[in-house]
């Protein structure tokens, strides 16, 4: 955007006026974040970030950009998420391409990435790890857009550790996997990722994973219809977790004894009301294993850590 500080007079219909008008419309049509939406969309149209929009309230906007902005605001008024209109969402400091092939990455899932990063780096730094040891294997189950796998690898690359790690990104949806591949290529990480079309995990996991990450669908079916209109634009299969939301999570728990290394850990995103239920499910399905729940920044239960107790033989169960 041109620098309009100084002598350029305010023009009716400039950036600030467009944002104000769009925000009022989006507020009236049910967006929970009308001003933010308007700023993001205008930035998208003008090819600047949100700061650029806020910093240049007086900047004039040409007719072509106005028309495109009006069209994008109309899509948002109909409930389409901003991330689908812009075609990407910021996640863990990266722009992740988003479209209706997969769930839009949520900020709370960054907690899972940070936890996975800590697990992987601790293993790489362990004094017991011999030089030349095979790469640490990580699974991202239900990878969707690939956000978790890619954010983890990007963070490892920044620490010059990515070459010691392989991430297997699995999804039951071929469409989602294609989007994840596009994101991996876009971030230059395709060589560290293996994409697998599978219901949770492949039937046989060999070698096993040191870390299994999963943000599976965990919304209870009955709750889905009552949720925000925007969710109806996202694939239902990425959200619907069955009657109590934990159908897929429980199926994954059943796979862990054959999928995790003896010192392995599964990091599972859960809903804010599922902290007790996941601990119960793990105690029932994986007796003798540990399961703890970590809260997110809002103080809500969000991340379950499940794994064999140190010293127990992997594969021990019931
Ligand atoms: N946190 C998401 C939501 O409530 C749900 C994501 C999921 O089911 N994995 O919109």
* pLDDT tens-place values along the chain, 318 residues long: 444 444 444 334 799 999 999 999 999 999 999 999 999 999 999 999 999 999 999 999 999 999 999 999 999 999 999 999 999 999 999 999 999 999 999 999 999 999 999 999 999 999 999 989 999 999 999 999 999 999 999 999 999 999 999 999 999 999 999 999 999 999 999 999 999 999 999 999 999 999 999 999 999 999 998 877 888 999 999 999 999 999 999 999 999 999 999 999 999 999 999 999 999 999 999 999 999 999 999 999 999 999 999 765 544 444
Atom of ligand 1 nearest to the CA of 217: 8
Report DSSP state, residue 108. G
Question: 315 vs 64, 92, 254, 277, 290, CA distance in Å?
Answer: 62, 34, 11, 23, 14
Tokens (6 digits) for 205: 């996991």
Q: What is the rounded distance in angstroms from the CA atom of residue 78 to the CA atom of residue 49? A: 23
Pocket test for ligand 1, best of 215, 219, 225 (most atoms within 8 A of CB): 219
Does 215 contact ligand 1 (Cβ within 6 A)?
A: yes
- Whether 266 and 260 have beta carbons less than 8 Å apart is answered as yes
CA 135–ligand 1 middle distance (angstroms): 31
CA 305–ligand 1 middle distance (angstroms): 18
Which pLDDT does position 313 carry in this prediction?
53
Query: Which domains are seen in the chain, by residue range?
Result: 15-79 (1.10.8.10), 90-307 (3.40.50.150)
pTM of the model: 0.92
Which pLDDT does position 312 carry in this prediction?
59
Task: Please name the residue whose Cα sits nearest to atom 4 of ligand 1.
Answer: 219
Question: 46 vs 2, 62, 230, 253, 293, CA distance in Å?
Answer: 11, 9, 24, 47, 43
Does 217 contact ligand 1 (Cβ within 6 A)?
A: yes
Atom of ligand 1 nearest to the CA of 103: 6
Does 97 contact ligand 1 (Cβ within 6 A)?
A: no
Tell me whether residue 35 is exposed, middle or buried, using C-beta atoms within 10 angstroms of its C-beta: 0 to 12, 13 to 18, 19 or more.
Answer: middle
Task: Please name the residue whose Cα sits nearest to atom 7 of ligand 1.
Answer: 217
CA 242–ligand 1 middle distance (angstroms): 13
Does 219 contact ligand 1 (Cβ within 6 A)?
A: yes
Task: Please name the residue whose Cα sits nearest to atom 8 of ligand 1.
Answer: 217
Tokens (6 digits) for 80: 């389409």
Q: Strand 290-295 vs strand 301-307: parallel, antiparallel, or unpaired? A: antiparallel
Tokens (6 digits) for 157: 């690359």
Which pLDDT does position 226 carry in this prediction?
81
Pocket test for ligand 1, best of 271, 297, 301, 303 (most atoms within 8 A of CB): 271
Does 218 contact ligand 1 (Cβ within 6 A)?
A: yes
Question: 166 vs 54, 71, 137, CA distance in Å?
Answer: 41, 42, 5
CA 218–ligand 1 middle distance (angstroms): 6
Cross-strand partners of 95 = 90
CA 273–ligand 1 middle distance (angstroms): 12
CA 36–ligand 1 middle distance (angstroms): 21
CA 239–ligand 1 middle distance (angstroms): 6
CA 287–ligand 1 middle distance (angstroms): 28
């Amino acid at each position: 955007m041109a620098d309009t500080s100084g002598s350029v007079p305010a023009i009716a219909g400039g950036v600030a006026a467009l944002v104000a008008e769009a925000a009022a419309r989006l507020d009236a049509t049910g967006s929970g974040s009308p001003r933010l939406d308007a700023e993001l969309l205008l930035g998208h149209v003008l090819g600047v970030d949100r700061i650029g929009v806020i910093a240049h309230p007086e900047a004039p906007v040409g007719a072509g950009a106005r028309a495109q902005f009006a069209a994008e605001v109309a899509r948002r008024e109909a409930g389409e998420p901003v991330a689908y209109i812009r075609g990407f969402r910021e996640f863990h400091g990266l722009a992740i391409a988003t479209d209706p092939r997969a769930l839009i990455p949520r900020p709370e899932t960054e907690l899972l990435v940070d936890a996975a990063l800590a697990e992987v780096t601790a293993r790489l730094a362990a004094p017991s790890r011999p030089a030349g040891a095979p790469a640490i294997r990580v699974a991202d189950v239900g990878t969707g857009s690939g956000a978790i796998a890619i954010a983890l690898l990007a963070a490892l690359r920044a620490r010059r550790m990515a070459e010691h790690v392989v991430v297997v990104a699995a999804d039951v949806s071929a469409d989602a996997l294609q989007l994840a591949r596009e994101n991996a290529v876009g971030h230059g990480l395709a060589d560290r990722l293996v994409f697998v079309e599978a219901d949770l995990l492949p039937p046989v996991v060999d070698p096993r994973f040191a870390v299994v990450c999963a943000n599976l669908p965990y919304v209870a079916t009955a709750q889905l219809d009552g949720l925000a209109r925007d969710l109806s634009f996202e694939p239902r299969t990425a959200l619907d977790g069955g009657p109590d939301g934990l159908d897929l999570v429980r199926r994954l728990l059943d796979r862990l004894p054959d999928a995790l290394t003896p010192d392995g850990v599964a990091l599972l995103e859960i809903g804010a009301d599922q902290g007790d239920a996941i601990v119960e499910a793990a105690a029932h399905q994986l007796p003798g294993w540990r399961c703890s729940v970590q809260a997110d920044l809002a103080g809500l239960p969000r991340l379950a850590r499940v794994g064999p107790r140190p010293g127990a033989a992997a594969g021990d169960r019931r």
